[in-house]
Structure 1
Amino acid sequence: MTSSIIPTLTILTAPDWQDYELLDSGYGQKLERYGAYRLLRPEPEAVWKPALPEKQWRDIHARFIPSPEENGGHWEALKPLPDRWQMGYKGLKFWVQTTASRHLGVFPEQACQWDWTEQQIKAADRPLKVLNLFGYTGLASLAAARAGAFVTHLDASRKVVTWARENQQTSGISETSIRWIIDDALKFVEREARRNSKYDGLILDPPKFGRGPKGEVWEFYKLLPNLLAACRDILSEEPQFIVMTAYAVKASSVTLHYALQEITNHLNGQVTAGEVALQEKSAGRILSTAIYARWSANSNPKSR
C-alpha cells in the first residue's frame, strides 16, 4: 500500500517524436511542427522571450486567433494547408486537422502516457481489460490495444469517436480489440458498477468542463470525486494500472496524487505524480502542459 505523506513529483516529456516538434515558445505562444506544417497557437505558460528569430515565427502555415472569450477563436491560414493530414508515432497512424478550437486531434505530450500504458500492459503478461474515459480521438486506446488489451473507449462526442475509429483503421488495429461507447462518463461507470463489470486498467483525461451526449454537465471539481469513487468499484481483483491527466484546471499534481491514492490505498502498488511537458527544440526549455497521477501494481513502474 502507498503511505507517503509528501509525494515526489516528476516531469514527464515525450522525446521520441519524429512527426512533431515544439520548435519554440514565448510571449504567450508556441511554434510547433505537425508533420510538414508549422503552426502557431496560444500558450499562456510561455511567459519568456522566444529563442528563435522573428522570421522563423513568421514562416508558418496557420495560426490560431483566440476570441476575447475564454473559449473560441478561429484559424487563419497563411500558406496552403490541407483539411486534414496524417501523422504517426511509433507505428501508430492518425489524422490531424485544425478544428473549431485550438486543438488538432492529438496532444503530443501524451505520448509519454501511451508508452507507459503499453509497458504496463505488456508487464502484466495476461489479458487485460482497459477502460479509457474521455478518450477523445483514441490514441491512448490504440496504444493499449496494440499492447494486447481489450479496450472500452468512451467519449461524449460522436464526432470524435468517429475520428478515433478512423485512426484505428489507419493504424491497422484489430476492430475486435476496441469497444466504442458514446456516453456520459460518470453515468457509464456507475452502470458498469451495477453490472459488476471489472477493469484491470483505467485511463482518465477529464476536462475542466464538458457536456455528455444528453446534455449532462461535467465539472471537474464537483464531479471528479464521484467519478473516482465509482471507478474504485469497477477495478478488478488484480488491477494493473490507472493513469489520470488533467488540463486547464486550477489544481496541482499533488491534488491528483492524493485523489488517486485514496482509491488505491487498499492495493499494493505505487502512486506517482507530476507534470506532463514538451521540450523545445530551440532552447531546450520545458513547457508544462498538464498535471498527471498514475498508479501501478508493479513495484518499480517505468517512467518516461
Structure 2
Amino acid sequence: MKDKDRRKAQKPAGKPGFGEKPVAGRRPDARPASSSRPQKAQERPVREPERPPIRAEQDEKRGETAEKVFLPLRSGARPAERVPIILETAGSENFRLIDSGNGEKLEQYGPYRIIRPEAQALWPKSLPEHVWQKVDAVFTGDTDEDGIGRWRFPREALGETWPLQLLGADFLGRFTAFRHVGVFPEQLAHWAWMKAEIEKANRPLKVLNLFGYTGVASLVAAAAGAEVTHVDASKKAIGWARENQALSRLDRAPIRWICEDAMKFVQREVRRGSRYDIILTDPPKFGRGTNGEVWHLFEHLPLMLDQCREILAPKARGLVLTAYSIRASFYSMHELMRDTMRGRGGVVESGELVIREAGLDGETPGRALSTSLFSRWVPE
C-alpha cells in the first residue's frame, strides 16, 4: 500500500504509469514467487512481552471505508536520535536539477531537458527565459503531484521511454501521464547508503523494497550483491521493473517481483517468520491494492511500520521511510519511528531529502529544493 500527497482521494495510489490511473494501495505488491523459509530459532530476536491487542475503528466519512489502527505502546527505551538531517542530491551525469522557480523545475534526464510543475519552487527563476525555452518536453495539465496531464514536445515528438543510468543501474526514463519520469532521483541519497551497506557486508543481505515502483532501488541493491524482494500493487509498474532488470543485465539476479498489496504482504511475512536486513518503504498518501484494498497514509502507516519492525533481522542494517507531498513535519515520522523501534537500540535519523540546483554545466551549486520527508532507523 512508495506517501505521496500526490494523489487525489478518488485516484489510485502509487506512482502511476504512462496513461494509467494510479493504483491505490500503491506500491503494495504481489504474489510471492516462492515462500520465504522461516529462520532458525536461534537467529530470531528475543521475544518481547506480549502486547495488548490492536484496536481498530472504521471511518466512512470519505465515502470509502478506511480502518484506523491503534497500536499498543511497545516496551523498552526509544532509540537515540539525530535531527534534523538533510540528505542532499547534487545530481550526476544522467540527472541534474538545472534551475527552479515560479512553480516549476528545469531538469536534465540523460539527453532530455524537461520542465515539470514544482509547487515548492516559490522563488524566481535564476536562469534567463531563453534557457527555459530550449527544452525537449514540458508537462502541462493538473499541477497536483499525481494530477493527470500531458507532455508537450516543443522540438520534436519523442517516444515514451529513453535509457538512463544511476548508481550503475540501467533503466528506462518514461513520460507518464502523471508527470513522473520513471525514477525519483532524490532517493539517490538512500540508495547510495544502501549500496554501501550491502557492499561492506560479509554476507548477502536481504532487502525488501515496498512500494518499489519501477525497481531502480531494487536493481541497485541486486547489483551490489543483495537478495531482493520488490513489492508493488501496480502490474504495469512491475512490468516496467522487469524491463529495467533486463536492461541492467541482471536477469539472473536474485530478485522476487511481487505484485500485491504491501500491507498484506508484510503481514504474511510476519506470519511466515521472514527476516530482512534492509527495508525500504516509500508509501503514497493514498492508494489501492491489487484487490481494491484502501491505503491512507495517516491511518495505516503506524501498522505498516510496526509490521516492518517485526520482519527486521536481528542484525538488520536499517529501516527507511520516505514520504512527500503530505501536510506533516518530518518530526511526525521521526517520533513514530522512535516509538516503533523501542527496545531495538540504534539511532533514528530524520529530516528532508533535497536536490541541489547544479546549473547548465552541472557544476554551479544553487538553491536546494526540498522533495521528501524521511526517517531512517539504523543499528548504530
| TM-score bin, normalised by smaller chain | over 0.9
Structure 1 residues 180 and 252, CA gap change in structure 2 (3 angstroms): same
In the alignment, the residues of structure 2 paired with residue 15 and residue 67 of structure 1 have an alpha-carbon distance, to the nearest angstrom, of 28
**Cα contact 2:80–2:347 (8 A) shared by 1:** no
Please name the residue that 2:369 is paired with. 287
- Counterpart residue number, 1:275: 352
Aligned-residue CA RMSD in angstroms? 1.7
Q: Which residue of 2 aligns with 1:139?
A: 216
Give the drift of 1:126.
Answer: 2.1
Deviations 1:22-47 (A, max 9, x none): 11000000011111111110000000
For the residue of structure 2 that corresponds to 1:13, the secondary structure is strand
| Rounded Cα–Cα distance in structure 1 between residues aligned with 2:91 and 2:105 | 19
Counterpart contact for 2:98–2:106, Cα < 8 Å: yes
Tell me if the contact between 2:206 and 2:228 (Cα under 8 Å) persists in the aligned partners. yes
In the TM superposition, 1:187-266 aligns within 5 A as 187-266=264-343
Matches within 5 A, 1:155-174: 155-174=232-251
Equivalent residue runs for 1:20-35 within 5 Å:
20-35=95-110
Deviation at 1:69, TM superposition (A): 6.7
The TM-score normalised by the length of structure 1 is 0.93
CA distance in 2 between counterparts of 1:250 and 1:111 reads: 23
What's the counterpart of residue 12 of structure 1?
87
Query: Structure 1 vs Structure 2: percent identity of aligned residues?
Result: 45
Which of 130, 137, 155 is the equivalent residue of 1:62? 137
Is the 8 Å Cα contact of residues 2 and 271 (structure 1) preserved in structure 2?
A: no
Q: Which residue of the partner structure matches residue 149 of structure 2? A: 73
Corresponding position of 1:302: none
Deviations 1:236-265, CA, capped at 9 Å, x for gaps: 222121111111111221122122222222
Inter-partner Cα distance in structure 2 for 1:207 and 1:294: 17
Q: Does 1:82 align with 2:164?
A: no
Counterpart of 2:340, as a letter, is I
* Higher mean C-alpha displacement, 261-270 vs 211-220: 261-270
Aligned length: 297
How many Å apart are 1:15 and its aligned residue?
A: 2.7
Contact 2:79 2:346 in 1 (8 A): no
| Aligned residue identity for 2:350 | A
2:174 alignment partner AA: Q
> Per chain length, whose mean CA-contact separation is higher, i.e. which structure has more relative contact order (CA < 8 Å, sep 6+)?
2
Shift of 1:125: 2.2
Q: Which moved more, 1:258-267 or 1:192-201?
A: 258-267
Larger relative helix fraction = 1
Gaps of 5+ in 1: 300-304
Equivalent residue number for residue 201 of structure 2 = 124
| Pair 1:41-2:116 in alignment | yes
Conserved? CA contact 2:104–2:121, under 8 Å: yes
Greater C-alpha Rg: 2
Structure 2 counterpart of 1:148: 225
Greater CA deviation, 162-171 or 263-272? 263-272
Q: How does 1:90-101 map to 2 (within 5 A)?
A: 90-101=167-178
Give 3-state SS (helix, strand or coil) of 1:162's partner: helix
Q: Which residue of 1 aligns with 2:128?
A: 53
Aligned-partner Cα distance in 2 for 1:241–1:233? 13
Deviations 1:109-142 (A, max 9, x none): 1111110011122333222211110000111111
* d(CA) in 2 for partners of 1:223, 1:114: 25
Is the Cα contact below 8 Å between 1:42 and 1:66 reproduced in 2? no
**Using the alignment, how far apart are the partners of 1:127 and 1:258 within structure 2?**
31
**SS of the counterpart of 1:18?**
coil
